[in-house]
Structure 1
Amino acid sequence: MPTQPSKTLETFDNPAPAMDYTIRIEIPEFTCLCPKTGQPDFATIYIDYVPDERCLELKALKLYIWSFREEGAFHEKVTNDMLADFIAACQPRFMRVTGRFNVRGGIYTSITAEHRKEGWQPPQPVTLP
């Protein structure tokens, strides 16, 4: 049976839960539909996060992203919906989702949505001599 799009996000145990480290994911082939015209919208989705106990599984993420292909969605809504779904799935310490949408009507749009787990502060940068 061929693979199908899915809204189910799978996770796996963080292999280094005591560490603050950043996972960066770039998805250059995101598509959804303009809710006004029904025409396709194209974007690159960027996900940066500091995992806590769970990490997003990439194959499930690919199928999740694919699930938007036939949906009408404003850029702002789809970006914030993704963040909410990712938070629900893996409860990260920090997460940022950015959608950089291709030109539509002569206008480029970038939407950034962020989450910080209550009480979590990023480590201070180290200055080396």
Structure 2
Amino acid sequence: MLGQMTAQPATPEAAVLERVPNPHPGQRYCVRFTAPEFTSLCPMTGQPDFAHLVIDYVPRDWLVESKSLKLYLTAFRNHGAFHEACTVGIARRLVEELDPEWLRIGGYWYPRGGIPIDVFYATGEPPAGVWVPAQDVPGYRGRG
């Protein structure tokens, strides 16, 4: 997809996550993607939901290609799912595609019904010796 016009996938399931070889195999380091304008739909009302996603992972053999990740995440724009389903589903799809040494996601959702619902998922403890910075997304007070 990189370097060419690419149509927006209609659904997250239809989105292709491309991977590229890790340029530093055997070296432990953390990769972070931040999506501060993630959008999906409430499966009950069809109203939009908004989140600030932070994805951290320690790659093994593969990196996710960033354009394909952006297209995958934007495919949720017309997808109806609860916050928990979106957040954990994104993490599980990345784990399936990349087989990272470690991955975590923080889904910091803006309030629905006056209550923010934050969802966190990790494949385990971060590997020893890898600097994994705090996610530093503020608790809800107008978030951002």
Which of 20, 34, 43 matches 1:35? 43
Query: For residue 56 of structure 2, what is the aligned residue in structure 1?
Result: 48
Query: For residue 62 of structure 1, what is the aligned residue in structure 2?
Result: 70
Query: For residue 100 of structure 2, what is the aligned residue in structure 1?
Result: 92
Whether the 8 Å CA contact 2:38–2:51 is kept in 1: the answer is yes
Give 1 or 2: higher strand fraction: 1
Whether the 8 Å CA contact 2:16–2:68 is kept in 1: the answer is yes
Please identify runs of 4+ aligned residues in structure 1 that moved more than 6 A: none
Q: CA deviation at 1:33?
A: 0.4
| Runs of 5+ unmatched residues, structure 2 | 132-144
**1:63 match: secondary structure:** helix
Q: Percent sequence identity over matched residues? A: 41
**1:107 match: secondary structure:** coil
Please show how residues 1-129 of structure 1 align to structure 2 within 5 Å: 3-5=7-9, 7-116=15-124, 122-124=127-129
Q: Deviations over 1:81-125 (max 9, x none)?
A: 111110111100000011111111110111011114xxx971247
**The structure with more radius of gyration:** 1
Considering only aligned residues, what root-mean-square deviation do their CA atoms show, in Å? Answer: 2.0
Change (3 A) 1:121 1:74: closer
**1:69 match: secondary structure:** helix
